[in-house]
Amino acid sequence: MTKQTIDFDQNAPIAGSEYDNMAPLALPGYEAMHQMALACLQANLPPEANILVVGAGTGMELIKFAKGNSKWQILGVDPSEKMLAIAQEKIQQHNLSEQIKLFQGYTDNLPEDSIYDAATSILVMHFIPDDGGKLAFLQSIAQQMKSSSTFILVDVFGEKGTDDFQQIVSLIKKFWQQTGIPEAKQIELLETIDKGVYQISETRVLELLEQAGFSKILRFYTGLWVGGWMALK
């Protein structure tokens, strides 16, 4: 990962200790997006493959991907010590230590050896401003990937201030009411979106992916303001 504006150890929008409980409530289709990401990998990867998970967090996709194919080798990268500690506990609980390795830091810190058959970035890039940071983030991932490898990007998207985005916000509020998120937490989450999340339009997402060297881009998932795209390096 390249550096982002939110410190998930010191000032996380959702604390690592409550992330696994809150994320499925706050993000429409949270489990489905991970299931679809796994399906994309299974459809495109050989039986034995190396996968880079950028922004591994508490390990949701690490465990799901590892269980999706016992011969895949997975490296999870994340700057948050606290979140990786939770991920490590899950890895040990599921006896997946031989299959999954963790690296605390950013993609920039990894050797540029292009060894990965696939890479994923799930709910990460929207924390990075579109001031060159998003493009650098995508480029740092592309540098780690083999030619013709698969990339999965899942992010909050949409243009703040537009009528379409305001309609989506209204739907999100109703969704949060249905999932039982307290009103105070809803307000906190919306403030985080407003101040600390730098989502962009789908047009801009596609443009950045192409600039970073990705092609054959396909949107495989939509959950209100969360989109998932698959592309080839």
pLDDT in tens, 90-137: 999 999 999 999 999 999 899 877 799 999 999 999 999 999 999 999
Query: Mean pLDDT in the chain?
Result: 91
Alpha helices, DSSP H, located in the chain? 16-26, 30-44, 60-68, 81-93, 133-142, 163-179, 183-196, 202-211
Instruction: Give the C-alpha separation, 212 to 120, whole Å.
Output: 14
Multiple choice CATH, 16-232, 3.30.1360.20, 3.40.50.150, 3.30.70.141, 3.40.50.2000:
3.40.50.150
**Nearest CA among 139, 136, 202, 138 for reference residue 165:** 202
Residue predicted with more confidence, 219 or 15: 219
Q: Which residues are CB-contacts of 33 (< 8 A; sequence separation ≥ 6)?
A: 27, 122, 154, 221, 223, 226, 228
**74 or 179: whose pLDDT is higher?**
74
Q: What does the CA dihedral 181, 221, 50, 90 come to, rounded to 10 degrees?
A: 20
pLDDT recorded at residue 122 = 96
- Beta strands at 73-78 and 50-54: parallel, antiparallel or unpaired: parallel
Q: How confident is the model at residue 8 (pLDDT cuts 50, 70, 90)?
A: low
Report, in angstroms and rounded to the nearest whole number, the Rg of the chain calculated over CA atoms: 17
pLDDT for residue 94: 97
Answer yes or no: is pLDDT of 156 > 70.
yes
Average pLDDT for residues 141-168, to the nearest whole number? 94
The pLDDT of residue 139 is 96
pLDDT band for position 63 (cuts 50, 70, 90): very high
pLDDT tier, 10 (very low <50, low <70, confident <90, very high otherwise): low
Q: Which phi and psi angles does 127 have, rounded to 5°? A: -90, 0
The one-letter code for the residue type at 215 is: S
Question: What residues does 75 pair with on adjacent strands?
Answer: 52, 101
Q: Is the pLDDT of residue 148 over 70?
A: yes
Residue 32 has a pLDDT of 93
Any idea where the domains of the chain sit in the sequence? 16-232
**Structure confidence at residue 201 (pLDDT):** 95
pLDDT of residue 99: 98
